[in-house]
């Protein structure tokens, strides 16, 4: 695609969608925790070949659309008919300097990235490109009783997104008779002599029309997850006469870490990383050092608390990684035990817990044996 090309996706979500049942227009009904229109929005907004997304909604639905999509999306008012709604979207795309548009129906929530790429890619050679699937069912005429079979050779099911050179679709709209409705933009382009090619469609693009389609869409959506990653860091001082707790294990050593709790620097770093994934503050927010009840406390409970907060939000811990930074003791001999203990505390398979150690080449406070540092990274997934 040339640098000068600018592709805008227009999602038409202005219909009433009454056939799908429910009080809400179907494009705002939720499947997998997200409104149908939001599924489609994400597919385009996340796609590298799409520069911007414009959403066309019925008057009065702007706030609902913004809430459903949860982003600073450009919103355009729909018109009295689908054709008018698309025309408003095209005007917005023109104002936003589009050279190409992909027009999509919000009732088709699941848009494979490959279909977007195929449609957008075909616009290098054609004025229009549409996804389509060959008809596989037997087709027949009927006036109540079975009539003749209609040969399905050469028959295609047309889907959206339909892609066009902006000039071609604007010209097609301008030429279309004022008082005639058009359900398909590609036919309008064809009507004025434009070339529209077919690209491979996808059954997941099928329209949500009836209540049963919402049930199928729910099954297709599954839960919608967001991946979150956060880091944690901690330092404690090494002192004589203290026990050394590291990663939930008592490690034999001449000195131990001092602090308000058991000073388990590895578990503190990891607790902060986990709290960070859900933006729930840090270990000090939940267990203030000023509170005497945490004096000498076993740090495993801090870690379990953080994991509990993630699970309470319906989240899952995917992976944790801890690096312990010290000259001594050697962590290698204890690595398996520490890994197993952290896995136990987090109720995770050991394969989702990584424990590493390093020295700082005798440099700095860790190198001089004044203290031990730890850093951690946690990756979780939470429902969107």
For Mg ion, the closer of residues 262 and 327 by Cβ is 262
Crossing angle of helices 335-346 and 300-312, in 10° steps, is 40
Beta strands 225-240 and 34-35, pairing class: unpaired
Find residue 234's DSSP bridge partners. 374
Interface map 217-256 toward Mg ion (x if CB under 5 A) = -----------------x----------------------
For Mg ion, the closer of residues 192 and 280 by Cβ is 280
In the complex, minimum distance from the CB of residue 274 to Mg ion, in angstroms, rounded to a whole number: 14
Q: Any idea of the CA torsion for 339, 342, 345, 348, to the nearest 10 degrees?
A: -60
Is residue 271 a contact residue for Mg ion (CB under 5 A)?
no
Burial 322-340 (b: 16+ CB within 10 A, else e): bbbbbbebebeebbebbbb
Is residue 322 a contact residue for Mg ion (CB under 5 A)?
no
* CA-to-CA separations, 202 to 9, 130, 199, 313, 336, in angstroms, rounded: 18, 11, 10, 34, 48
Among residues 47, 82, 108, 268, the one that binds Mg ion under rule CB under 5 A: 268
In the complex, minimum distance from the CB of residue 262 to Mg ion, in angstroms, rounded to a whole number: 10
Minimal CA–CA distance to 91: which of 18, 169, 191, 146? 169
Is residue 206 a contact residue for Mg ion (CB under 5 A)?
no
Alpha-carbon span 182 to 363, nearest angstrom:
74
Minimal CA–CA distance to 339: which of 357, 327, 325, 326? 357
For Mg ion, the closer of residues 206 and 234 by Cβ is 234
For Mg ion, the closer of residues 201 and 259 by Cβ is 259
For Mg ion, the closer of residues 123 and 283 by Cβ is 283
For Mg ion, the closer of residues 75 and 283 by Cβ is 283
Is residue 266 a contact residue for Mg ion (CB under 5 A)?
no
Find residue 238's DSSP bridge partners. 257
Is residue 262 a contact residue for Mg ion (CB under 5 A)?
no
For Mg ion, the closer of residues 201 and 247 by Cβ is 247
In the complex, minimum distance from the CB of residue 267 to Mg ion, in angstroms, rounded to a whole number: 9
In the complex, minimum distance from the CB of residue 232 to Mg ion, in angstroms, rounded to a whole number: 10
In the complex, minimum distance from the CB of residue 362 to Mg ion, in angstroms, rounded to a whole number: 24
Alpha-carbon span 299 to 296, nearest angstrom:
9
The span of 58-66, 100-108, 265-273, 359-367 binding Mg ion (CB under 5 A) equals 265-273
In the complex, minimum distance from the CB of residue 375 to Mg ion, in angstroms, rounded to a whole number: 12
Q: If you search the block for the tokens 């309008």, which residue do you land on?
A: 188
Applying CB under 5 A, which residues contact Mg ion?
A: 234, 268
């Amino acid at each position: 695609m040339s640098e000068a090309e600018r592709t805008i996706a227009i999602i038409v979500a202005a219909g009433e969608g009454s056939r799908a049942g429910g009080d809400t227009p179907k494009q705002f009904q939720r499947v997998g925790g997200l409104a149908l229109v939001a599924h489609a929005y994400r597919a385009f907004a996340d796609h590298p070949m799409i520069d911007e997304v414009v959403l066309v909604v019925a008057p009065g639905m702007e706030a609902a659309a913004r809430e459903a999509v949860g982003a600073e999306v450009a919103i355009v008012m729909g018109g009295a008919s689908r054709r008018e709604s698309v025309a408003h979207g095209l005007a917005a795309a023109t104002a936003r300097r589009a050279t190409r548009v992909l027009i999509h129906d919000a009732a088709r929530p699941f848009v494979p990235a490959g279909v977007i790429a195929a449609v957008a890619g075909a616009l290098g050679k054609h004025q229009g490109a549409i996804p389509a699937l060959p008809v596989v069912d037997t087709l027949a005429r009927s006036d109540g009783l079975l009539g003749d079979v209609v040969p399905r050779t050469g028959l295609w099911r047309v889907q959206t997104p339909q892609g066009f050179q902006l000039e071609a679709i604007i010209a097609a709209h301008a030429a279309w008779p004022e008082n005639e409705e058009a359900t398909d933009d590609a036919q309008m382009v064809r009507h004025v002599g434009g070339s529209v090619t077919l690209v491979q469609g996808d059954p997941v693009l099928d329209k949500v029309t009836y209540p049963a389609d919402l049930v199928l869409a729910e099954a297709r959506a599954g839960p919608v997850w967001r991946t979150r990653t956060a880091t944690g860091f901690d330092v404690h001082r090494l002192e004589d006469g203290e026990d050394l707790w590291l990663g939930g294990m008592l490690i034999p050593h001449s000195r131990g870490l001092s602090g308000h709790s058991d000073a388990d620097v590895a578990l503190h770093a990891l607790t902060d990383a986990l709290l960070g994934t859900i933006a729930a503050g840090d270990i000090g927010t939940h267990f203030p050092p000023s509170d005497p009840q945490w004096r000498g406390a076993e740090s495993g409970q801090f870690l379990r608390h953080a994991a509990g907060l993630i699970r309470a939000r319906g989240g899952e811990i995917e992976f944790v990684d801890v690096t312990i930074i010290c000259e001594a003791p050697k962590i290698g001999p204890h690595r398996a035990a520490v890994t197993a203990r952290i896995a136990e505390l987090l109720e995770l398979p050991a394969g989702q817990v990584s424990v590493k150690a390093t020295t700082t080449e005798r440099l700095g406070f860790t190198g001089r044996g004044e203290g031990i540092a730890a850093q951690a990274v946690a990756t979780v997934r939470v429902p969107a």
